[in-house]
Chains A and B, each alone.
Chain A
Amino acid sequence: MNNKTLFISVAALIGLVFIGAVAIYKSQQSTSVASELLPALERIDAPVKGGKQAKVTIVEFFDPACGTCSQFYPLVNNLVKKYQGKVKVVMRYAPLHQGSNDVVKMLEAAHLQGQFWPAVELLFANQQRWVEHHVSNPTSALAGIKTLTLDHEQLDRDWQSSKVAKTIAKDIQDGKTLKVRATPQFFVNGKPLIIFGYDELAKLVEDAVSEAY
């Protein structure tokens, strides 16, 4: 065989093996979370928005410092509004950015005063003020949260409490169990969003709604 033919055939072979491996991998990937891992999706008292009796639950693992999470925030809100009463969203903490660990504790402390949603909305809207080069600045974040009407002293006590630390640790542990390596990570009724994108998420929710109702 001449050298050029050899080169081209081997290159083609490697290409074909790659395409084949991708196809096999995709076909074997499960579309839902293994049943023994399902409990990791839930935590009682996690912040929720949407219909209480909703049969479709979006679980979102998020980091308040994550830009994509901030961009997805209104989109997820739209989904909850679109399927009024049928869809709810549960927020789980996944502080993957440096410094975010303290910021999610502050969010949880705000949640204890029933102010999670205003607080997270505020943090998302003003990310450039407290996130620099993907590093969270907890002091600036706290100053931001304190512009809301809530009990400041209670907030200070709570975010440094062991109770809040436990809650965050549970979310981080569950994130590890579910292999959450990037934020936002969505699960709709136990099915992970495999191909990331808003349209894909909307489709996953649409399918879950038509299945449940």
Chain B
Amino acid sequence: MQNIDKASTMHSRSWNLVFLVWVLATSGTVISLFFSEIVQLPVCVLCWYQRIALYPLVIMLPLGLFPFEVNAIRYAMPLVIFGWLAALFHVLVVAGLIPEAAQPCVQGVPCSETHFTLFGFLNIPVMSLLTFTLIGLLLLMAKKSFTRTSTQTV
């Protein structure tokens, strides 16, 4: 009996973590749409790649939350890793660590330019990298706490 109680609280811990990831992804989506559609900052190619990784999470994670389905974490991971890599590349481009020639986005909106900076260092690519890092870590924690529960109950 005690075991089952413990299992369900661990279960709900896992649920809470995935829910938190959904909150992060949704906030990120809304903020990025606010900057592009309302403030009308230009969206460069690399930003689009990160959006491709972020936006689907808003739709697919709730499907894994109701009812709770741990596989959702597995399905979300490739997107998160892809988005994280794109964000890392973008941050390096902005920082000037990746040379002009290696950039995929010379035409149209240059990705090396940033239009918005908070507290002197927090530009949009950095925010994106932080978000993807946090999302990835939370998903790993959710997965871990779920596996722990499962092995305990068996």
Contact = CB atoms under 8 A, between A and B. Distances in A.
Interface of A: 3-4, 6-7, 10-11, 14, 17-18, 21-22, 25-26, 98, 181
Interface of B: 15, 19, 22-23, 26-27, 30, 34, 38-40, 42, 62, 65-66, 107
Nearest to A6: B19
Contacts of B27: 14
Nearest to A11: B26
Q: Which of A4, A26, A181 has the most CB of B within 10 A?
A: A181
A3 B40 CA distance: 36
B26 A98 contact: no
Contacts of B39: 25
A7 B27 CA distance: 13
Contacts of A21: 34, 38
B66 A7 contact: yes
A26 B39 CA distance: 9
Given A98-B107, A181-B42, A3 B34 contact: no
Chain A contact surface mostly: helix
A26 B37 CA distance: 12
Given A3-B66, A6-B19, A10-B23, A18 B40 contact: no
Contacts of B40: 181
Nearest to B106: A98
Contacts of A17: 30
Contacts of B38: 21-22, 25-26
B126 to A, nearest CB: 20
A200 B8 CA distance: 58
A14 B62 CA distance: 15
Nearest to A10: B23
Contacts of A7: 19, 22, 62, 65-66
Contacts of A10: 23
Nearest to B39: A25
B15 A3 contact: yes
A200 B10 CA distance: 57
Given A3-B65, A17-B30, A25-B38, 19 more contacts: A3-B15, A3-B19, A4-B66, A6-B19, A7-B19, A7-B22, A7-B66, A10-B23, A11-B26, A14-B23, A14-B26, A14-B27, A14-B30, A21-B34, A21-B38, A22-B34, A25-B34, A25-B39, A181-B42
A14 B25 CA distance: 11
Nearest to B68: A3
A165 to B, nearest CB: 21
Contacts of A14: 23, 26-27, 30
A179 B19 CA distance: 39
Nearest to B12: A3
A26 B40 CA distance: 12
Contacts of A25: 34, 38-39
A181 B36 CA distance: 12
A199 B66 CA distance: 46
Nearest to B40: A181
Contacts of A181: 40, 42
B115 to A, nearest CB: 9
